[in-house]
Amino acid sequence: MVYLKGEDPCEFDVLVVGSGLAGLLAAIKAARFARVCLLTKDALYNTNTWLAQGGIAAALGDDDTPAIHLEDTLQAGAGLCNREAVKVMVEEGPRRIRELLELGVPFDRVAGQLAMTREGAHNRNRVIHAGGDATGQVLHATLQNRLLNNKAITVREYTFVTDLLTCEGEVVGLQTLRGETYRAGTVILATGGLGRVFLCTTNPEVATGDGVAMAFRAGAEVADMEFIQFHPNVFESPKGEMILISEAVRGEGAVLWNSRGERFMDKYHAKAELGPRDIVSRAIVDQMNRQGSRCVYLDMTLRDPLFLKSRFPTIYAMASRYGLDPAKDWLPVVPAAHYAMGGVRTDLHGETNLPGLYACGEVACSGVHGANRLASNSLLECLVFTGRVVERLEKNGRNLPRAVQQKHKKSDEGSKNLSLEFTRGKKLQEELRRLMFTKAGILRHAKDLLTAQRFLKEHAWLADAAPQDRATWELKNLFFLANLIVNSALMRTESRGSHYRLDYPQPADAWRLRRLIWSGKGKKEEDLLAPLSL
């Protein structure tokens, strides 16, 4: 294929938005054959990837196979996984891990072999890790170094992308908050998650779901937005910070106690503390409600102090800062919003319904996670489907049509300018996030969801606004995402995976093979792929 050779500093072959694992990997891989620009709204490291502790799941052990990994993933996904996507992920996973090793990622080893642990809902030890519980930092630092030393990649930090540019139904570039126009034959969205929709979350402040919002405004389909995973083990600091404690801690033998000093998880799932995240999170909430307590307790004291310090150095150091010793003290924990299973709908190569637009990582919805993500499958999904996106680009390519370079349009054309005063905007965002956590969080009910819906309708004016600053843009995007989550949760009249309705506590067969798809043309439902075997 022939690539653009123009001298325009804002014209590239491939634009990558986001700097987590999916964004870094997409840029590095695409730079082998294209001129690439990576844009991120904050510092490169300010991502969910950097905060990831657990590791990457892959069938690498002698007692493991892709077929077993597939079954564990389907079981956790509660009947809604796209089986073909899961099949692709588990089969290609080991090869993608080898690619990371070739890039120099120093995964932990025992006697020369990759160290592997087990997390909730896995039936084998298959989670590899780095730096003990600093997998994300090690992974990100290694790839960031590769990125910054690659002369074929242009990096734009602190560059907030507001909109995708389209021409005759095709994505041809993007617009930034500073008013810059970037044009390219391909845009890859790797903007990460949307956890900041909720008050209590493990996500950093940058996780405001901008990619899902801008893709939808441009005409992309969005799916499965009702499925939000809450992590069971989150330490709330005296300052109100929500600090993730890896699920690998439970995989290494940690147990949960309620405020009465009773172990309770065996009453909720056969695997007790190693049950799926949605079940463990709801069990914790149930125990807190029964006893009127603010938390439950994570007990790591059964393990040797030296083991804890070497296996979980980040967690150990965090606890020590607050006067707790994990080898002696129980750690208070609560569930918090962690991961979105839904997002921009993609096929098995990361393609969306809009020509020129791809998505990978948490912003994408390939269907691999179904109604509830299996622990440590998220980084694996990034590896596999980002690789597939770039391989598809290399095979097919897509040049920017010269004739349409100046005919593109923004999705917010005709909107009214808006810039909220800082205090007002911050207060409104907190009000939204608190409402979403209490009314559309772990436990849902129609009356609560309708309360949230009324609040969102009262602030519908934000949808027509053209924000003039980053904070207002993020607020607009958060309100948009909250609408999708609440409306999807109201329509799914059953409980499945991470979506739990107190008024519809059982799963319904009518919903087992359906997924909600949203687009500018409204809602539609679609049958999932039929079951496949390896």
For residue 344, what are the β-bridge partners? Answer: 222, 364
- The amino acid that residue 432 corresponds to is L
Q: What is the DSSP string of 313-330?
A: HHHHHHHHHTT--TTTSP
Question: Could you write out the three-class secondary structure of 296-356?
Answer: EEEECCCCCHHHHHHHCHHHHHHHHHCCCCCCCCCEEEEEEEEEECCEEECCCCCECCCCC
Measure CA 364 to chain center. 8
The H helix count followed by the E strand count for the chain is 15, 25
- 163 CB neighbour count, 10 Å cutoff: 22
Structure tokens at 166: 């389209």
- The amino acid that residue 269 corresponds to is H
For the question of residue 424 being annotated catalytic, the response is no
Distance from C-alpha of 220 to C-alpha of 91, rounded to nearest angstrom: 28
Structure tokens at 1: 């294929």
Distance from C-alpha of 180 to C-alpha of 178, rounded to nearest angstrom: 6
**What are the residues whose beta carbons fall under 8 Å from the beta carbon of 194, sequence distance 6 or more?**
203, 207, 208, 209, 212, 340, 478, 481
Distance from C-alpha of 482 to C-alpha of 499, rounded to nearest angstrom: 15
**β-strand 113-114 against 109-110: which pairing, if any?**
antiparallel
Q: Which of 83, 183, 277, 501 is catalytic?
A: 277
Measure CA 287 to chain center. 27
Structure tokens at 13: 């072959």
Q: Does residue 293 sit in helix, strand or coil? A: coil
Question: Which are the catalytic amino acids?
Answer: 277
